Amino acid sequence: MKNVLITYIEKTGVSLEEINDLLKKCASNKHSISLNILDYSLQDKSSEIKNLDWQLGMPVLTYKKYDYEEYDKLKIHLCDTIESSSPIPDCFIKIFSSVKVFPGFVDDMELDFLDDPNYGYVYGDFYIKQEGFEEELGIPFLHSTPPLKSQTIPIIAFCCKKFVSNAGHENTEGLILSNCAGKHIPKYLSTLLV
C-alpha cells in the first residue's frame, strides 16, 4: 500500500460537482489517497468545500486557494504540499483540469514499481478528445516508447523522494523522465481535452 498524493490544478474555476466526481474517481482499494486541490482561478470554493458529500473510502481532501499570478510558483507549492503531508507520500500525481480521469485509475497504475530505486515514475495511456467531439472517449494515444522530457502525458505518478531531491532543477519532471526508469502501464487511464 502506498501513500499517494493527487494534486488537482485548477485555473478556470471548479464546481462542487466536479470536485465530488473527482473524489469518487480517485478512491482506491489498494492505496491511501490524499487529494489536494490547488486553485489558481478567480473563484474561492473553500467555504463550499465543507458541504461536499464525503463518504467512507473517499480520499482525504485539502483545498488551497492561490492568486492567479502565483501559478509560476506551482513547483514550490507542490514541494510544500509533499513535505507538509503526514505521512509523507510515496508518490504524487499531478492532474490538470483539462484531464478527465477514469474511476479506479490509481489502482491500475501498479505503483509498487516505485519501490525500486531505479524507477522514478509510472505512466499510462490516454485518449485525446476535442471539445464538442461526438465520440465519448476520443482518439486513443498508446505509448510505444518512453516519454520524452518535453512530451506532455496527462497522468504520471512520480516518486516523491526523487521529485523533492531534484526540485532545484528548472525542469524537475523532465529530469526524472530522462534520468530514471519508468513503468508504462498499457491501459487507458484518462481523457485529455484539447
Task: Assign a CATH topology to domain 3-193.
Answer: Spore Coat Polysaccharide Biosynthesis Protein SpsA; Chain A (3.90.550)
Give the tens place of pLDDT for each residue, 81-130: 888 887 889 999 999 888 999 999 999 999 999 999 999 999 988 888 87
Question: Could you give the 3-state DSSP secondary structure of residue 184?
Answer: strand
Cα distances (Å, whole numbers) of residue 2 to 30, 39, 91, 101, 182: 8, 25, 8, 19, 17
Give the per-residue pLDDT at 83. Answer: 87
Domain extents in the chain: 3-193
**Residue 25 neighbours by CB under 8 Å, 6+ apart:** 101, 102, 103, 104, 105
Cis? peptide before 87, omega within 30° of 0? yes
Sign (positive/negative) of CA torsion 101, 102, 107, 112?
negative
Rounded to an integer, what distance in angstroms lies between the CA atom of residue 33 and that of residue 60?
A: 7
Rounded to an integer, what distance in angstroms lies between the CA atom of residue 78 and that of residue 70?
A: 12
Rounded to an integer, what distance in angstroms lies between the CA atom of residue 194 and that of residue 168?
A: 31
Total-model pTM: 0.86
Give the tens place of pLDDT for each residue, 4-14: 999 998 888 77
Give the per-residue pLDDT at 138. Answer: 72
Cα distances (Å, whole numbers) of residue 72 to 36, 75, 78: 18, 8, 12
Give the tens place of pLDDT for each residue, 39-85: 888 778 777 776 676 665 667 788 888 888 888 888 888 888 888 88
Given a contact cutoff of 8 angstroms between Cβ atoms, the answer to whether 8 and 37 are in contact is yes
- Pairing between strand 99-101 and 91-96? unpaired
Rounded to an integer, what distance in angstroms lies between the CA atom of residue 38 and that of residue 94?
A: 10
